Structure 1
Amino acid sequence: MTEEPLKSNLRFWTDRPLAFKGLVVIALPLAILLSALFSLYLASSAEAEAEDDVRRAFAIQRDTYQVHALLAEAAAGVRGFVLTREERFLEPYKRAETDLPATMNRLDIAIEDEVVRGHFEYLQEVVATKRDGLSSTVALAGAPNTISEISLENALLDNRQSLDAVRMAVEEVQRTEAIVLERRQILVDNVRTGFLGLTAVSAVIGLLGSIAGVYLFSTGIVRRVSRLEENAGKLARGERLRELPEESDEIGRLAKRLTRASALLRAREEDLRASEERFRLVIERVRDYGIFTLDKDGVVTSWNLGAKRIKGWSADEILNQHFSRFYPEETRDFLPAQMLERARAEGAAEDEGWRVRKDGTRFWANVVITALRDEEGELQGFAKVTRDMSERRRSEEALRLAREEAVAANRAKTQFLSRTSHELRTPLNAILGFGQLLEISEEEFESHHREAIGQIAKAGRHLLSLINDLLDISSIEAGATDVEIEPVPVAVFLQDLYALAAPIVASAGLRFDLDIPTEDCSVLADRRRATQVVLNLIGNAAKYNTSGCSVRLGAALWDDTVAFIVEDDGPGIAPADVPRLFTAFDRLGQQDRAKIEGTGLGLALSKSLAESMDGGLTYEAANKGARFCFTVRKSAAGAGAPNNAAGEATA
């Protein structure tokens, strides 16, 4: 082939699309490989089939030998039975009767050669004759003694002759099957030899196809990609690209685009330089943040206007100085190194603490140090941003002092309430004592005097209740509440509460309902305090239920808690007042109603008592009226799976 036609053919190949080239490069060796694999598959299948024939021939010889062995053992056993009349000699005969049908069936399936099958059919006849003879002999030997010995000897002689016939038939089957086996082994050897030759031919053809594919791939793709790689390296170094021939496939178009990309990148590099310059100017002029960079060892390499304003150093004074100069003496030896190490490991490190200005004064700073890495992940240095947080620090300190003052004031208030309540009890006890003496002798007084005595006693008891509530609240706030936690049976506790509260509800003219759960369990609570909480809830329900007709007391059993529920069908509580329910001295406007007495401490005290027993007190609006839930923990014996039926019945 001359040079011109060769160049023309190469150009034709070069201009083809990469999909076509890839198809040719891949399909050529792949087609050869698939053809070789198919040939190998056919050869392998033939070899496997020939090997199966060999294994089947061996199985036939083994089974024919087993037929003869079973019949020989059976004949020997029958002979022993005839001579001794002992049943144990019949074991080989019984085994032969069991195994022979399966063995003959396997032979019938395995024998395919027509010559061997003819001998096998004769073997089937003599085996059947032998089995019949053995069966007859066993029957004769087992019959009454009227059978003559001559008959038995003739039967044994016939059995021996039929066994010889079986032996000769087996030998004939094995001889003909051996001939078939020899032919099959020769066939296996021939197939294996052909398989090896075919493998060698396939390997040579595959190698030639691979060489052809590699040549086509190299001429059409590899050399041109190498040129593109060379141009890409020049593009990365900013050098002028090598001119490539005009070609119309994907690589040629890629070369053109790479040339255009080179021009575009040079333009963008100019824009990037200008943008970096503008960013540098912006950073230098930021005043509220100190932004500067450090090298890998922590030496200052840049300095902006904000850093100068916050720290006091100018760029000339601080550049090439270690940034530990900004730290006070107590942290200078360890904290700068720790910050850099954290930034290296985590990418960034943040800290708040005291820093030092040029004039030696301290300021509270928020500092963020960020590790700067290149595209390969190599550490290039650090960026450090500092913000003066002194004003926020002063605000936080003022807030902390105010909080401490509030806590101290609350503690003083608690102490004042406690001391005042104790001081008021002494004269109040005297007033109540003299009032009780007057009540004893009230028959001696006029009716208006008796009414005055009753008012004195009523006011004294009300004041005593207020003082007791104040003492309880002050004790809870001071952490001195006496709480004795013990197991309290739920059913018994509800019955006791019902007995105590029934007069209160009855005096309000309301019906009092009691729901006791069917499940028997106990709660962990202070019995006296828990009674005080529930009685207060029942008293409130009776006191404020001015439009309903009933109050209900019940309990709901949950996973590990029990809720004692007090519910009424009165007017309920306005949604706007619910957030103030448990606020001390807040009666939610009821103080304007002269008929309803109260101090506004009941719910606040009840909630505190419930929490002191590791429980809680909550309110929820019922369909009509109000519902309060006092929750406490079950005792260890009472904790378990929820009782849904009881919970739904009492909720």
Structure 2
Amino acid sequence: MSHGALTTEQLMHDLQVHQVELQLQNEELRRAQLALELSHARYFDLYDLAPVGYLTVAASGLIVEANLNAATLLGMARSALVKWPLSRFIVKAHQDSFYQCRRQLLETGQAQSCELQVLQGDGVTLWVRLIVSALQDGSDAPALRVVLTDISERKRLDEALRETNKNLELAKQQADRANLAKSEFLSSMSHELRSPLNAILGFAQLMESGAPPPTPSQQASLDQILKGGWYLLDLINDILDLASIESGHAALNMEAVALDTVMRDCQTLIEPLTTARSVQVCFPALPTTCRVQADPTRLKQVLINLLSNAIKYNQVGGSVAVRCDSPAAGRLRISVRDSGPGLSTQKLAQLFQPFNRLGQEAGSTKGTGIGLVVSQRLIQSMGGEMGVESMEGVGSLFWFEL
């Protein structure tokens, strides 16, 4: 074989190898092109079918590109959106919000967001949340990527909530005014009732102690008048107390009150009742330094009320224990525990309701059903709180903290 033939054969071989290599490269290119097209299709699927609106806005403010959701939100075809300025779709009163958002983006380089109203093609307004970010192309005035999310329903619910809160506030103000008017009426009416009632009681007592003494029949009638009169006077006094507290007219003289003095006074005042009911009351020994911030007269009123209830609604020969504890720094708890019949869960829920005597109306124990409510309101007015624990067949524990 000649040298020329060998060279030709070598060239043919090299060409064949090169052709195979080109074919492989072309195949690789086709595969890469196919993968790119698939990726591109997936990107546009994600872009077009995203649940939010996407817009690409040129530095000039003109819309360059929009996905289907953006076109739907703005109420125009995608092809019609292109070349329109974005500001044309923003409600005039909200355009400053968008411009400020864009300015902060250009100053900080960080994505910005705001809430504003946009105009659809037919003039209908829509609330959207708008997020603006810059497309990094190295220019001083880059194009913008704008994301739009429909928040109309949330805005509608916010507005409904504001309207509801406004109505509730108005209703509360009306209720407060009605309560104040009620309290002032009760206070005025009670004062008007007390004068003639005192006259009735005074004349009944004069007749009872007059000469000649009343006959048995007359005495029975006088007893009924006096019994009903004193009960009515107690009721009026309780109503006056409650009305003055609820209307904010209850004057409180707050000071550091020595508890041992209050306890001794209460012990003396309830002694006749403990003797009549054969109930033993145990008071704690307190140092003179034990003091609470309270109105001394009102504090005594509250404690007398709790002690009287504990004795009156106790069993004959029962017991009452008064305790003082400090549940937290700067707080003192005074509790009154009795050995009475106790209260059911249902009765406990009704305990601090005015005029509710929890089924004791038909019993022999006198009461108005207001004293406990007055006591609770007084304690609250003095910056404290009152509570109760009870178990049927065991007894009840009433407490208040100051």
TM-score range, shorter chain: 0.7 to 0.9
Q: CA deviation at 1:264?
A: 10
Counterparts of 2:82 and 2:208 in 1: how far apart (Å)?
97
Q: CA deviation at 1:397?
A: 0.8
2:206 to 428, 437, 440: 440
**Alignment partner, residue 271 of structure 2:** 502
Q: CA deviation at 1:571?
A: 2.6
**Alignment partner, residue 85 of structure 2:** 321
Q: 1:420 to 1:573 in 2, by over 3 A?
A: same
Q: Deviations over 1:178-204 (max 9, x none)?
A: xxxxxxxxxxxxxxxxxxxxxxxxxxx
Q: 1:475 to 1:304 in 2, by over 3 A?
A: farther
Equivalent AA in structure 2 for residue 431 of structure 1: L
Corresponding position: 1:381 with 2:168: no
Q: 1:499 to 1:392 in 2, by over 3 A?
A: same
**Alignment partner, residue 629 of structure 1:** 399
**Alignment partner, residue 564 of structure 1:** 334
Q: Which segments of 5 or more consecutive residues in structure 2 lack a partner in the other structure?
A: 1-23
Counterparts of 2:245 and 2:258 in 1: how far apart (Å)?
26
Contact 1:506 1:512 in 2 (8 A): no
Equivalent AA in structure 2 for residue 570 of structure 1: G
Contact 1:508 1:542 in 2 (8 A): yes
Q: 1:274 to 1:467 in 2, by over 3 A?
A: farther
Q: CA deviation at 1:408?
A: 0.6
**Alignment partner, residue 6 of structure 2:** none
1:532 to 301, 320, 334: 301
* Aligned-partner SS, 1:278: helix
**Alignment partner, residue 291 of structure 1:** 53
**Alignment partner, residue 43 of structure 2:** 276
TM-score with structure 1 setting the length: 0.47
Corresponding position: 1:609 with 2:378: yes
2:129 to 345, 368, 374: 368
Contact 1:619 1:629 in 2 (8 A): yes
Counterparts of 2:244 and 2:304 in 1: how far apart (Å)?
20
Q: 1:478 to 1:294 in 2, by over 3 A?
A: farther
Counterparts of 1:448 and 1:631 in 2: how far apart (Å)?
50
Aligned pairs for 1:411-490 within 5 A: 411-443=177-209, 444-490=213-259
Corresponding position: 1:573 with 2:343: yes
**Alignment partner, residue 310 of structure 2:** 541
Contact 2:312 2:365 in 1 (8 A): yes
Contact 2:47 2:67 in 1 (8 A): no
Contact 2:338 2:395 in 1 (8 A): yes
1:554 to 323, 326, 330: 323
Q: Deviations over 1:284-319 (max 9, x none)?
A: xx6xxx73446497766536558746x656653587
Contact 2:183 2:247 in 1 (8 A): no
Counterparts of 1:597 and 1:296 in 2: how far apart (Å)?
87
Q: Percent identity at matched positions?
A: 22
Q: Deviations over 1:439-484 (max 9, x none)?
A: 2221533334333333333333333333333333333333333111
User: For structure 1, which segment, 605-614 or 409-418, has the greater mean C-alpha deviation from structure 2 after superposition?
Assistant: 409-418
* Aligned-partner SS, 1:475: helix
Contact 1:590 1:596 in 2 (8 A): no
User: For structure 1, which segment, 574-583 or 606-615, has the greater mean C-alpha deviation from structure 2 after superposition?
Assistant: 574-583
Task: Provide the alpha-carbon RMSD of the alignment.
Answer: 4.2
Q: CA deviation at 1:577?
A: 3.9
Counterparts of 2:103 and 2:303 in 1: how far apart (Å)?
61
Q: CA deviation at 1:486?
A: 0.9
Q: Deviations over 1:473-513 (max 9, x none)?
A: 33333333311111111211221222223333333331111
Q: 1:566 to 1:278 in 2, by over 3 A?
A: same
* Aligned-partner SS, 1:480: coil
- How many equivalent residue pairs? 362
* Aligned-partner SS, 1:456: helix
Counterparts of 2:85 and 2:201 in 1: how far apart (Å)?
89
Equivalent AA in structure 2 for residue 421 of structure 1: S
Contact 2:53 2:147 in 1 (8 A): yes
* Aligned-partner SS, 1:441: helix
TM-score with structure 2 setting the length: 0.72
* Bigger Cα Rg: 1
Structure with the higher strand share, 1 or 2: 2
Q: 1:498 to 1:305 in 2, by over 3 A?
A: same
Q: 1:514 to 1:375 in 2, by over 3 A?
A: farther
Q: 1:355 to 1:384 in 2, by over 3 A?
A: closer
Q: Deviations over 1:243-278 (max 9, x none)?
A: xxxxxxxxxxxxxxxxx9x99998876655444333
Counterparts of 2:351 and 2:214 in 1: how far apart (Å)?
44
Q: 1:513 to 1:357 in 2, by over 3 A?
A: farther
Counterparts of 1:434 and 1:338 in 2: how far apart (Å)?
80
Corresponding position: 1:336 with 2:98: yes
* Aligned-partner SS, 1:484: coil
**Alignment partner, residue 302 of structure 1:** 66
Counterparts of 1:585 and 1:264 in 2: how far apart (Å)?
90
Q: Deviations over 1:383-436 (max 9, x none)?
A: 231321335523541442244124313421331232133124323421232222
Contact 2:260 2:286 in 1 (8 A): yes
Counterparts of 2:70 and 2:170 in 1: how far apart (Å)?
36
